[in-house]
Amino acid sequence: MYLGLKFCSDITMSIITRLLSSNGISLDNPLCTFPGSSWNDDFDTGRMSGCFMIFSMGGVIEHSSNLHDPVDLSSAGAEYNEACLACMATAHLKQFLEDLELFYNA
């Protein structure tokens, strides 16, 4: 069995673009981030689990999945914490790509 990642030079050909465009979402930015979380997963400690995926040119370039230390009092707080982590990771990647001169602002 052969597995691999496919990065497309034409983002309109990527599978994630086709999936999102079928739902009316466009990918005009070179980086696209999807965060998500689940509140009160660990019943003993009340901690939440969260994850995010960052796509570029149709392929995943960074992901994170973990059980967070702060105990949130609501699912909105859990989503907010994960969105903040995803934004920080996206900002770091954007800065890294700008340093490599691979990031073009549209």
HEC secondary structure over the chain = CCCCCCCCCCHHHCHHHHHHHCCCCCCCCCEEEEEEEECCCCCCCCCCEEEEEEEECCEEEEEEEEECCCCCCCHHHHHHHHHHHHHHHHHHHHHHHHHCCCCCCC
Q: What was the pLDDT predicted at 39? A: 78
Q: What was the pLDDT predicted at 88? A: 93
Report yes or no: 46 and 20 within 8 Å, Cβ to Cβ.
no
Report yes or no: 48 and 15 within 8 Å, Cβ to Cβ.
no
Per-domain residue ranges of the chain: 11-99
* Sequential pLDDT tens for the chain (106 residues): 677 766 666 656 666 666 666 666 665 666 788 888 887 777 777 778 888 988 877 678 888 888 777 777 777 888 888 888 899 999 998 888 888 876 655 4
Rg (CA), the chain: 16
Q: What was the pLDDT predicted at 106? A: 44
Q: What was the pLDDT predicted at 72? A: 72
Nearest to 58 by CA among 97, 28, 102, 13: 13
